[in-house]
Amino acid sequence: MSLKLDGKKLSLEIEERLNNYISSNKKIAKRAPGLAVIRIGEDPASGVYVNNKEKACSRIGIKSFIFHLKDSVEQKEVEQLIIKLNSDKDIDGILLQLPIPKKFDEQKLISSINPGKDVDGLNEINIGKLVKNEPAMRSCTPAGIINLLRSQNITIEGKKIVVIGRSLLVGKPLSLMLLNLNGTVTMTHSKTLNLNKVCREADILIAAAGKPNLVDSTFVKEGAVIIDVGIHRLKSSNKNQTRLCGDVLLEDVISKVFAYTPVPGGVGPMTVTMLLVNTIFSWQKQFGLSSTLNDLLP
């Protein structure tokens, strides 16, 4: 039977440890950690994600500040808000909820976030430090995936790892992080020739293509570990209902794989948990708190 990598269960375990960590250090810091989330526009999925982050913060004692801006807001106004939050001593982390309306210069906004408060790890300073394998904020989804693998003692070093997708949010930082952990990494994308053949070489296959049910049994070798980053809402056979699926056609591959992540309940919860971790790291650094936070992770 294949091993289910239960991100929801692991995230709740880590949250409990984080809650205890905050409780034991809040008297020293004289305040709780603070996370500012900037949402622009009315994208329904963004609304759900922001709500999930707000609830997660509440569960462990992080104070969240939600800034929901209309899509009529100007670029300069958003930049001014970020500058204000950069200097706000009650804010440890700043997150720009993506995607944002196309009229905005997304990278310019991300670049304006103080690297020490860039809890999504997307500022070019943090990306540069990742390339150099120096300590810095790490992107939440890649960090969540790595902790999920570690929680089950799945070895990264020396393994052939194929990543499908090259986004700045997942594919690129994840490939670099795995490389820094001595994985043998191949990054693939929509233009890769014979994609399923390349993927069949993988000991660990990570699907972050953004294409529902792309990965079937022809992509997977016996005994592989498969991580599904995708999440899509599709119409079910009953036209009045929808269902969630990932980039992996799970029912087609589950008999071949050693371990897999479900959708939902796999990578998603760990992404939110690593956002909490990054916020607490920033809080910890500001007040010179105990460095035992690393011991709370797998």
The response to whether 66 counts as a known ligand-binding position is no
Task: Classify 30 in phi/psi space as left (phi over 0), alpha (psi -120 to 50) or beta.
Answer: left
The response to whether 190 counts as a known ligand-binding position is yes
Supply 142's token pair.
Answer: 């890649």
The CATH number linked to 256 is 3.40.50.720
**Whether residues 170 and 77 fall in one domain:** no
Confidence band, pLDDT 50/70/90 cuts, at residue 88: very high
**Whether residues 152 and 110 fall in one domain:** no
Residue-number span of the structural domain to which 172 is assigned: 140-268
pLDDT value at 6 more than 80? yes
The response to whether 231 counts as a known ligand-binding position is yes
- Sheet holding 160-164: strands in order across? 3-4, 259-260, 225-228, 204-207, 160-164, 184-188
**Whether residues 69 and 172 fall in one domain:** no
Each residue of 77-112: b (16+ CB within 10 Å) or e?
A: ebbebbeebbeeeebbbbbbbbebeeebeeeebbbb
- Sheet holding 63-69: strands in order across? 63-69, 34-40, 93-96
Contact (Cβ atoms closer than 8 angstroms) between residue 276 and residue 18: yes
The CATH number linked to 43 is 3.40.50.10860
**Whether residues 145 and 264 fall in one domain:** yes
Q: What is the CA radius of gyration of the chain?
A: 19
Q: What is the spatial distance between Cα 89 and Cα 25, in angstroms, rounded to a whole number?
A: 17
Compute the mean pLDDT over every residue in the chain, rounded to the nearest whole number: 96
The response to whether 28 counts as a known ligand-binding position is no
Identify whether 10 is part of a domain.
Answer: no
The response to whether 165 counts as a known ligand-binding position is yes
pLDDT value at 239 more than 90? no
User: Annotated catalytic sites, by residue?
Assistant: 53, 97, 120
Confidence band, pLDDT 50/70/90 cuts, at residue 240: confident
**Whether residues 194 and 256 fall in one domain:** yes
Identify whether 155 is part of a domain.
Answer: yes
pLDDT score for 294:
78
Task: Return the percentage of the chain with pLDDT > 70, whole number.
Answer: 99
Q: Which residues contact 3 (CB under 8 A, 6 or more apart)?
A: 152, 258, 259, 260
Which of 140, 116, 138, 150 minimizes the C-alpha distance to 287? 116
**Whether residues 62 and 174 fall in one domain:** no
DSSP 33: -
**Whether residues 107 and 204 fall in one domain:** no
Which of 245, 242, 241 minimizes the C-alpha distance to 264? 245
pLDDT score for 38:
99
pLDDT score for 63:
98
Identify whether 212 is part of a domain.
Answer: yes
Identify whether 231 is part of a domain.
Answer: yes
Place of tokens 């699926």: 245
Q: What is the spatial distance between Cα 267 and Cα 261, in angstroms, rounded to a whole number?
A: 7
Contact (Cβ atoms closer than 8 angstroms) between residue 62 and residue 280: yes
Identify whether 235 is part of a domain.
Answer: yes
Identify whether 9 is part of a domain.
Answer: no
**Whether residues 197 and 104 fall in one domain:** no
Identify whether 57 is part of a domain.
Answer: yes
Residue with the bigger pLDDT between 236 and 183: it is 183
Q: What is the spatial distance between Cα 40 and Cα 223, in angstroms, rounded to a whole number?
A: 43
Say whether 119 sits in a helix, a strand or coil: coil
Mean pLDDT of 52-65: 98
Please count the structural domains in the chain: 2
Global pTM?
A: 0.95
